Amino acid sequence: MSARSSYLPSGRYVPVLATLALLAVMYGAGALRYEAFGDGQVILNVFVDNAFLLVVAVGMTFVILTGGIDLSVGSVVALTTMLSASLLKDQAWPPYAVLPLVLLLGALLGLGMGCVIHYFEIQPFIVTLAGMFLARGLCYTISTASIPIDDPFWRSMADSKVRLAGYFVSPSVLVALVVVLVAAYVLGYTRLGRNVYAIGGSPGSALLMGLPVARTRIAVYTISGFCSALGGVLLSFYMLSGYGLHAVGMELDAIAAVVIGGTLLTGGSGYLVGTVLGVMVLGVIQTIITFDGTLSSWWTKIVIGVLLFVFIVLQRLIAARGTRSAPAAPESAPLTLTAPPAR
């Protein structure tokens, strides 16, 4: 290996570094074009406005690392907002009873989908698509209209500000950062995290090594369901309402954030810091369009689509380079059959 190549980043870090470079370029371009864009509060507002998406994307990262997909997250978010609003307003439940109930419901939905995916050997796309329709349909059995939330605890979470050296964030941002730190620890330093990466790299090899494939697959969908429910709680803090049309398309935003953050769609490679950067990229795109004032909000989807194409191609090129650079396996000796000696 040459001295120059020893300073080059490993291929698995290239997508994350590309996302970081893209974020820096976008923020720099925005700061040069718009005077107020360079204010530190602008970046903090990206977290304030996307704390719920960050939590949902964390759960999606676990799923995609195993080579799966979860299309139900947006509907579970909406169901959580509807159920929370209905219980708080119509049933007059206290917040300390509503919060654990909705989080448990999200985890149970994820647990059920994980069991169906593994034990019935059905593609995650189909199972989570069914979960998406189920959760969205349950929203409309509660109400077809928006339900406002007037609970004092919910309002305090919506109106509170955590001061940071002259700037501020919402309590939801702190919750999202705690989720990121806990998830990063789980993926990096626990047996569950190692199993997640191993199953994403090669499910067959993981099974041959005696790893708990069934338990791990079910666990990641349970985590995704829990994160979706928690994201729904944070969205209800942000919107102060429950509505069946909340979070439409959020599953695609979460997948986009994870992929732009460098996690392979085929599983086995990716980092949570990349997911955080991916969410920030989406937030900065929305912020730039808002600052411009002349562009339609649909430009956000157009730019995200272009970025997805670019990062998927980048992942493919990195995978191809890794395959070419891998040493060739030695050829085995030819098998020869000889007749037994004559007696």
Residue-wise pLDDT for 140-180, tens only, equals: 999 999 999 999 999 999 999 999 888 999 999 999 999 99
Position 31 in a domain: no
For 164, the enclosing helix (H) or strand (E) is strand 162-164
Cα–chain center distance at 181: 14
pLDDT in the model for residue 110: 97
Position 103 in a domain: yes
Smallest CA-to-CA distance from 110 within 50, 186, 61, 59 is with: 59
pLDDT in the model for residue 170: 95
Q: Which residue has the tokens 């990229």?
A: 281
Computed over every residue of the chain, the mean pLDDT equals 88
Q: How much is the pTM? A: 0.90
For residue 164, give its domain range.
Answer: 51-254+264-280
Q: How do the residues of the chain divide into helix, strand and coil, expressed in percent and rounded to 5?
A: 75, 5, 25
pLDDT in the model for residue 334: 42
Q: How many CB atoms are located within 10 Å of the residue 14 CB?
A: 17
d(CA 304, CA 292): 17
Q: Which residue has the tokens 């808002």?
A: 290
Give every residue of the chain whose pLDDT is below 50, as ranges: 1-8, 328-343
Position 87 in a domain: yes
Residue-wise pLDDT for 107-133, tens only, equals: 999 999 999 999 999 999 999 999 999
pLDDT in the model for residue 164: 85
Per-residue 3-state assignment (H helix, E strand, C coil) for 17-49 = HHHHHHHHHHHHHHHHHCHHHHCHHHHHHHHHH
Position 170 in a domain: yes
Position 197 in a domain: yes
Position 99 in a domain: yes
Position 182 in a domain: yes
pLDDT in the model for residue 314: 79
| 8 A C-beta contact, residue 244 and residue 78 | yes
d(CA 32, CA 6): 35
Count of domains observed in the chain: 1
Position 316 in a domain: no
